[in-house]
Amino acid sequence: MLENHDTICALATANGVGAISVIRLSGAKSFEITESLFSKSLKDKQSHTVHFGTISSSEGLIDEVLVTLFKEGKSYTGEESVEISCHGSTFIQEKIIAALIASGARMANPGEFTQRAFLNGNLDLSQAEAVADLIASQSRSAHDIALKQLRGKFSNELKDLREQLIHFASLVELELDFAEEDVEFADRSELKILVSNVLAYVRRMAQSFELGNAIKNGVPVAIVGAPNTGKSTLLNQLLGEDRAIVSSIEGTTRDVIEETLNINGIIFRLIDTAGIREGAEEIEALGIERSKEKIEQAKIVLCLADGTKPENVAFVKNWVAELQVTHPYKKIISVVNK
């Protein structure tokens, strides 16, 4: 446990106006500081109990609130903690926090509540990272991954891997200690299987990072092709709204347009790019360069061809074949439009 540190406070709910707001305190003097402002005594109250009353400062009454108590060892941070539920006025939030600071608390640093939970052993590093991912999750898939990590799924897998490696190391050490005695403590085939399983697991975990990152941040999908092949129209159709300007004039899209689309709980980042062609003027050429950058970053590339122009279809076929060679890990999809 951390020792001799100060009591921190901060707004636990989002900034802005709402029906209610929650202000959190954590530290050895959480009960004492809250009681100095609260209309009722909090002495000898049980953990995980809620108390209705008023909060006042030297300037007078601030608000009617609910105060929830968490005793040391029974809170998110592992420390004595209090949560004050007040009305969601920004004025009330500021007044209560100012009163708490005047009574001996200090403003928490970003992520300090989770940091204290980690340092006090309530969360391991993997779970602490999952807190931010869970808060920021924007799709079912991202939510599910963050929740599993927060509940210790990844941590348990790492513990299992550690135990396997310790077992392997102990067998090897025994063999080395008694090498001159010509004594085998483990079947060589068993050791090979153990090492093979560990390596396979580590590779699988390393490969899963890319998938997890795509789910968390969205799968980038670049819509590319020559000018006036219908890239912006496709983007608008997928989104169900007129997000990009559509015109029969070539080179309408001069910059990259990005929008997100949730398909079955997975976020896709759709990227409408400038049409790629030779001889573009300066501004359009800058857009084309950005288009090429987005192709490099994308996991999925939709290559559009104008079906009314055989030469354009042939060009896209050759282009797709080239992309499949130069970017074997990308999903390249040909789309014939019009």
Q: Which residues contact 96 (CB under 8 A, 6 or more apart)?
A: 23, 37, 55, 62, 63, 65, 84, 86
Calculate the CA dihedral of residues 137, 141, 144, 145 and round it to 10 degrees: -80
How much is the pLDDT for 303? 87
- Interval 121-166: pLDDT, tens: 877 676 667 666 666 666 676 667 666 666 666 777 777 788 888 8
How much is the pLDDT for 2? 46
Hey, how many other C-beta atoms are within 10 angstroms of the C-beta on 67? 26
- Interval 16-45: pLDDT, tens: 888 999 999 999 999 999 999 999 999 889
pTM of the model: 0.54
Considering only residues 223 and 177, tell me which one the structure prediction assigns the higher pLDDT. 223
Q: Which residues contact 74 (CB under 8 A, 6 or more apart)?
A: 47, 48
Alpha helices in the chain (DSSP H): 30-35, 90-102, 112-119, 125-136, 140-150, 153-177, 188-217, 231-239, 282-297, 310-326
- Interval 201-236: pLDDT, tens: 888 777 666 666 766 778 889 888 877 788 888 888
Q: Which residues contact 67 (CB under 8 A, 6 or more apart)?
A: 34, 38, 42, 50, 51, 52, 53, 82, 83, 84, 85
Q: Are strands 8-11 and 106-107 parallel, antiparallel or unpaired?
A: parallel
User: Confidence band (pLDDT; 50, 70, 90) for 57?
Assistant: very high
User: Confidence band (pLDDT; 50, 70, 90) for 91?
Assistant: very high
